[in-house]
Amino acid sequence: MLLSDEQIIQVTKQMYVYLIRQGVRAEVAKDLAQDAIIKAWRYEKEIPLEKQKAFIFKIVTNEFYQYYRKHKREIITEDFSHLIHSGELTDNLLIQQEQSTEIINTMKNLNENHQKLLMMKYDIGMSYQEIAEYLDTTPSNVKTYLSRARSAFKKIWGDFNE
């Protein structure tokens, strides 16, 4: 592959985080990320270097959708209820869980494109340039799209917290 080993490791970690945030179990997320890298290797000579990361991310997104269709009941959400009864859950963890739940509920009410954009930028940590490559657009368009996504998030967040 034309990407360096370090770049492949970075992309694999980004894909892993993306899949975990989607609710996929850790072992499955690793498998799906590895499968995406293997599939990308098949087309390494056909895809220009500057579009390879975006190509790999598209593969892992498609792999996730296929997995999700087949295994809907295996998609997990964070559940800390078992810790409450054992007394291991501190006030800080309860507050974090409540905030996480509010954020997840807010994200679920956004349209799919806004969810993806916010996840790529804030969960995965992709740059504007990387997102632009994935979406096949310019970084200035990505900034505009993200601004709209943040505005939609804030509006829904405000509706939940009133």
The upper half-sphere exposure of residue 9, i.e. CA atoms within 13 Å in the direction of its Cβ, equals 3
CB 97 within 8 A of CB 79: no
Which of these ranges, 68-72, 123-127, 136-140, has the smallest mean pLDDT? Answer: 68-72
Q: pLDDT (tens digit, 9 = 90+) per residue, 34-77?
A: 888 888 888 878 888 777 888 888 888 888 888 877 776 555 44
Phi-psi map region of 23: left, alpha, beta (phi>0 left; psi -120 to 50 alpha) = left
What is the reported pLDDT for 16? 85
What is the reported pLDDT for 63? 85
As a whole number of Å, the end-to-end CA separation of the chain is: 51
The upper half-sphere exposure of residue 113, i.e. CA atoms within 13 Å in the direction of its Cβ, equals 9
What angle do helix axes 52-70 and 128-135 make, rounded to 10 degrees?
70
Quote the radius of gyration of the chain (alpha carbons, Å): 18
DSSP string covering 100-137: HHHHHHHHHTS-HHHHHHHIIIIIS---HHHHHHHHTS
What is the reported pLDDT for 83? 42
The CATH class for the domain spanning 84-162 reads mainly alpha
Nearest CA among 118, 120, 109 for reference residue 155:
109
User: Whole-angstrom Cα distance, residue 107 to residue 21?
Assistant: 11
Nearest CA among 42, 62, 57 for reference residue 133:
57
Q: Which residues contact 57 (CB under 8 A, 6 or more apart)?
A: 11, 14, 15, 18, 134
Whether residue 112 is predicted with pLDDT greater than 80 in this model: the reply is: yes
Report domain extents, the chain.
1-77, 84-162
Express as a percent the part of the chain with pLDDT over 90. Answer: 9
